[in-house]
Amino acid sequence: MKIVGLITEYNPFHNGHLYHLQKTKEITGADAVIAVMSGNYVQRGAPAIMPKHIRAEVALEAGVPLVLELPVCYACGSAEYFAEGAISILEKLGCIDAICFGSECGDLNILERIASITADEPAEYRAFLQEELKNGLSYPKARQNALKRYTKDEEIDLILSEPNNILGIEYIKALMRRKSGMAVYTIKRRVSGYHDEELSENYSSASAIRRLLWHASNAIHLEGERLYDEPPLSDALTRLEGQVPSACIRMLEETHRTRYPVYANDFSLLLKYQLMCETKESLTQYADVTPDLANRILNRLNDFVTFDQFCDLLKTREVTYTRISRALFHILLHIKKEDMELYRHHDDCGYARILGFRKDAAPLLKHLKRHTEIPLITKLTQQENLDMSAKKMLENEIFASNLYESVITEKFRLPFIHEYQQQLVLI
């Protein structure tokens, strides 16, 4: 059985994801695909707009046979950590033949060339990188300049300005470091860029879709003395027809204001409380929090209004908004540097948690169980075969998921569903 791994967020699932799924099968000749999907938090340092089980259900309806969860410590990490975690799961399953990812450039050769340089770090490249960092540039910009100087290729600027290219490079780098035998394929993204905020004809970005849903959820109309919000949602869903699969439209309609939308600002009070409990010394224990950032957090804490506003307040020329947001979520979710070092010491992910699968994927599941090097978890009570590192990772995942659920509970006035009570998605 030939199996290809997809590394995804599906935040939310749209036509570009469906194209990726269909094209992957076409160009690889795969018998099956497996999606490793971010859980309730995503790589740009934010909560997913919809809970992971809903997003998994839409993916399964669209034809993905099996969805695995990328643990939060990787899902909400830098591109390097995000790739490391996802690749480690796919590698340890023991039977994944290839990965296939979307990229803006669609040129595997240049992505592999850059990945090779950043993985091996030749002396000349390292010297250029240190020079650029000393000039006060952020790490991504310093790396971009160093690569351009080392390769003498002006195209590097364009390649490294696009987020899916960057993630693709990190996937390849992670495979190289593991000396993995998995093949690599890339598919050129169609029409919309990752950050485009306006809908296109058929292949709008997730950013544009989230923006539309934000406006729909926040547009309250006054008719006489009655407040209502149904028309804006109805209009939004009409605009999304042809942009997302019908299963996604159905879930967006059925779960609106009961399970979604969730935004970073919904965590504002939780974050402020957590920051008020911290000191400079304790803050620097969290992933991505430097002494300088810890000082700025504490010095500006009295100016805290909302999560988004505080990120804007803290960002600098050297530290991007996204990195600030990730750091703040690391603080809120108790993701510490020592934890990440522990996970790396134990070769990253020590389990693969199944969020959902299709009934017709039974042969795929049987194949995985025969080959996997790590436990496949369908119930959170299945922890007897986990080592200490994997248990700690799963405990942190449960805490982070319960915090997300608490926000839903408070925002939509619904009963709390503990992570142990969340049901496996089966269609």
**DSSP-assigned states of every residue in 402-418:** HHHHHHHHHHHT-----
What are the residues whose beta carbons fall under 8 Å from the beta carbon of 241, sequence distance 6 or more?
A: 249
CA distance 77 to 287: 9
Is residue 58 within 8 Å of 15, Cβ to Cβ? no
CA distance 157 to 354: 38
pTM score of the predicted model: 0.94
Say how many C-beta atoms besides its own lie within 10 A of residue 300's C-beta.
13
Q: Domain extents for the chain?
A: 3-122+159-191+348-426, 206-254, 264-339
| 3-class DSSP state of 389 | helix
Helix 206-218 vs helix 230-240: crossing angle, to nearest 10: 160
pLDDT in tens, the chain (427 residues): 999 999 999 999 999 999 999 999 999 999 999 999 999 999 999 999 999 999 999 999 999 999 999 999 999 999 999 999 999 999 999 999 999 999 999 999 999 999 999 999 999 999 999 999 999 888 888 999 999 999 999 899 999 999 999 999 999 999 999 999 999 999 998 755 555 556 776 788 899 999 999 888 876 544 444 444 455 888 889 999 989 999 999 999 999 999 999 999 999 999 999 999 999 999 999 999 999 999 999 999 999 999 999 999 999 988 889 999 999 999 999 999 999 999 999 999 999 999 999 999 999 999 999 999 999 999 999 999 999 999 999 999 999 999 999 999 999 999 999 999 999 999 9
Fold topology of 3-122+159-191+348-426: Rossmann fold (3.40.50)
| 3-class DSSP state of 242 | coil
User: Which residues are part of a known binding site?
Assistant: 7-20, 102, 164, 189
Residue type, 89: I
The Cα angle at residue 58 between residues 60 and 263, in degrees rounded to 5: 140
Contacts 24+ apart (CB under 8 A), 358-364: 358/60, 358/64, 358/65, 358/66, 358/426, 358/427, 359/426, 359/427, 360/65, 361/32, 361/65, 361/66, 363/1, 364/1, 364/3, 364/32, 364/34, 364/65, 364/66
Burial class (CB in 10 A: 0-12, 13-18, 19+), 390: buried
CA distance 122 to 118: 8
**Bridge partner residues of 226 (DSSP):** 223
CA distance 334 to 277: 12
What are the residues whose beta carbons fall under 8 Å from the beta carbon of 361, sequence distance 6 or more?
A: 32, 65, 66
User: Which residues are part of a known binding site for ATP?
Assistant: 7-20, 102, 164, 189
Is residue 75 within 8 Å of 43, Cβ to Cβ? yes
CA distance 175 to 87: 7
CA distance 188 to 175: 20
